[in-house]
A and B are shown apart, each in its own frame.
Chain A
């Protein structure tokens, strides 16, 4: 019985996390919620008597996939910053020419 209640709670958390990723506006938040989703999933694998999957999901789903998402987001911010720098540089160049 205790197992059933725990499982139901986890499944509820799973759906909550899935909906939260779908509606979240900020990408960083979405990625963190997705990592939480993967962790909940790995506990559910344990409850369903598949420890192999639990270990793999924790290492791959929550670990490596999360890191990849984070790095991709980081690269994207980097491009933004480059473009902003470039704009600033161009503007200052124009100003100098103007003077």
Chain B
């Protein structure tokens, strides 16, 4: 538990990667929710995802240890970092690129139909089409 201000400060200095990853998550999330431009939303989605991956990988990192590729026959676990987050993030990156491809193709088709990248405008045009 954190008791004093200095404690908090030390914690922030130790966990700076975690803080950065949360900031990236926040920027991406805000872009995804706030931006009216669809392409920006997709970029925001990617930034949000990489923020989470950075958080995950920073949890697996251990100071002074090496990448989990067995070298020189040393199999002592005290020499290597945790391989699990790397594997999970590998999966996550592939999921991100799939989602990005689908979103981009949706955007291209929407633009073809409505000639707009702005979600509000697209809704308005869609509603008019419905009423007509």
A residues in contact (CB < 8 Å) with B: 7-8, 11, 14-15, 18-19, 21-22, 27, 30-31, 34, 37-38, 41, 44-45, 48-53, 56-57, 60-61, 64-65, 68-69, 72-73, 75-76, 79-80, 83
Asked if A15 meets B108 with Cβ closer than 8 Å, knowing A22-B40, A48-B57, the reply is no
4 smallest CB-CB distances across A and B, nearest first, come from A72-B104, A49-B67, A50-B86, A18-B27
Closest CB-CB distance, A40 to chain B, in whole Å? 10
Whose C-beta in chain B lies nearest to the C-beta of A37?
B47
Whose C-beta in chain B lies nearest to the C-beta of A77?
B111
Q: Is B123 an interface residue (CB 8 A)?
A: no
- For the residues of A in contact with B, the DSSP-based class is helix
Q: Could you tell me if B27 and A49 are in contact, using CB atoms closer than 8 angstroms?
A: no
Q: How many residues on the B side are at the interface (Cβ–Cβ under 8 A)?
A: 49
Q: Could you tell me if B104 and A18 are in contact, using CB atoms closer than 8 angstroms?
A: no
Asked if A22 meets B35 with Cβ closer than 8 Å, knowing A53-B90, A76-B108, A76-B111, the reply is yes
Q: Could you tell me if A53 and B57 are in contact, using CB atoms closer than 8 angstroms?
A: yes
Residues of B within 8 A of A18 (CB): 23-24, 27-28, 47
Alpha-carbon gap, A37 to B24, bound state (A): 11
Q: Could you tell me if A49 and B61 are in contact, using CB atoms closer than 8 angstroms?
A: yes
Contact of A48 among B47, B58, B94, B100 (CB under 8 A): B58
Q: Could you tell me if A79 and B112 are in contact, using CB atoms closer than 8 angstroms?
A: yes
Q: Give B104-132 interface residues, CB cut-off 8 Å to A.
A: 104-105, 107-108, 111-112, 115, 117
Alpha-carbon gap, A14 to B44, bound state (A): 13
